Structure 1
């Protein structure tokens, strides 16, 4: 037996803002809301338990105190990396310098709340 990742939970100051951002980045839709203000987003055709994990944006007023120990990598599905980068920047992503150098094949970005993620070079087929 094995496990698989079914959902990722991201504490954030503004769940609405991040749900909108990550929905556009990933092509996800809102799946539900909880009384605590959490918003779950996921693939429009599968939702929770499908082949891709859902993302829960959970409200938190705890200040972030540095680089997250975990980050998300995304890969383009319907265009190459250089065409996807301007789209992500237009959605509100920002380039981040974490000392990665000029020789890497990925772009380090942050979402509107400063959570780092990487745009990888390899294009993958959509699920």
Structure 2
């Protein structure tokens, strides 16, 4: 029997509303402002994301050998084809993402970016079993 049920992934940031809008443009859903320091994004098929105001927020460092520099990152499925992946890349860049590692994508099937607050996230090219079967 579990002790608790999963509720949210919470990202600290200087501007919760702006960061919620960034992820809403990528994942869908509509940000719900609960107060100036707490915004929630619920989008179909993804875990609930919440954004908490942290005026003294310091973005994680990536890459870094310092164990405290990065606690976690988000992996986002950009689709099974390179065309979908390239379109997702262009879209996140237009929304304000900053590339952290764009090398060797064909070997890794992912690229690393920072969101506007500096949190690392990956766009991943995921071959879905049904997509591979239909080829």
User: Which TM-score bucket, shorter chain as reference?
Assistant: 0.7 to 0.9
Deviation per residue, 1:12-58 (Å, 9 max, x gap): 00112101101101112123413x52111112x6xxxxx53211110
Higher relative contact order, structure no. (Cα contacts within 8 Å, ≥ 6 residues apart): 1
TM-score, normalization: structure 2? 0.72
Calculate the aligned-residue CA RMSD, in Å. 2.6
- What runs of 5+ residues in structure 1 fail to find an aligned partner? 46-50
Q: Which has the higher helix share?
A: 2
Per-residue CA deviations over 1:54-99 (Å, capped at 9, x if unaligned) read 11110002342633210000002597212211111111111103xx
Give the structure 1 partner of residue 64 of structure 2: none
Rg larger for: 2
The TM-score with structure 1 as length reference comes to 0.76
Alpha carbons of 1:25 and 1:62: their partners in 2 closer, same or farther (altered >3 Å)?
same
Q: Given the alignment of the two structures, is residue 113 of structure 1 paired with residue 110 of structure 2, yes or no?
A: no
Q: What is the alpha-carbon distance in structure 2 between the residues aligned to residue 4 and residue 25 of structure 1?
A: 25
Aligned to 1:122: 126
**Corresponding residue for 1:59?**
53
Structure 1 match to 2:95: 91
User: In the TM superposition, what are the counterparts of 1:38-77 in structure 2 within 5 Å?
Assistant: 38-43=38-43, 52-64=46-58, 66=61, 67-76=69-78
Give unmatched runs, 5+ long, in structure 2: 62-68, 131-135
